[in-house]
Copies of this chain bind each other. A is one copy, B any other.
Amino acid sequence: MLADLRRPERTFTIRQLCNEFKATPRALRFYEDKGLLCPAREGLNRVYSHKDRVRLQLILRGKRVGLSLSEIREILDLYDENDDGAAQMARSLKKFRERTAALEQQREDIDGALIELHQACARLEQRLAEIRPDLLPRAADYDQVLRARLDGHADAVLGK
């Protein structure tokens, strides 16, 4: 019973969480500094509970989707202030939607950049073909194109 690692009483050291989530101790302490985490202490040592672990998961997920730490903290705080949870959920939902919109915008920007790049590449290729065809891409570069095609993005980039 003492050995059941899945029981909610189980606690974690900083290193355990770091290993599990591929983070560094510095990062966890940093999150704590920023108020995103506040693990218990055993003397000086940090002791992370399951709740802390969940918070960390949320933090990392937030990071993956591009939220800043302060935005993540806002969301986390919402869950803590909890009255009944619903209001916070609504606000989180709002945050998520805003982020969705921002990401979609970023995607458009990237697409624009890709178009510019594609045009620039086309110009360069044409000039090179005229002047120094020997400098034009071969096997290695074909590789790149092929990989892009497999990714399925080439279609969009190359004129849909």
| Cα(A85)–Cα(B156), bound, Å | 31
| Contact digits for A6-43, partner B, Cβ 8 Å, 1 yes 0 no | 00000000000000000000000000000000000000
**Nearest CB of chain B from residue A58's CB, rounded to whole Å:** 10
**Nearest CB of chain B from residue A144's CB, rounded to whole Å:** 6
- Report the copy number of this chain in the oligomer: 2
Chain A stretch 64-105: residues in CB contact (< 8 A) with chain B: 64-66, 84-87, 89-90, 92-94, 96-105
Task: Name the B residues within 8 Å of A106 (CB-CB).
Answer: 110
Task: Name the B residues within 8 Å of A93 (CB-CB).
Answer: 121, 124-125, 128, 137
Task: Name the B residues within 8 Å of A99 (CB-CB).
Answer: 117
Task: Name the B residues within 8 Å of A132 (CB-CB).
Answer: 86-87, 90
The answer to whether the Cβ of A131 comes within 8 Å of any Cβ in the partner chain is: yes
One of B98, B105, B120, B141 near A156 (C-beta < 8 A): B105
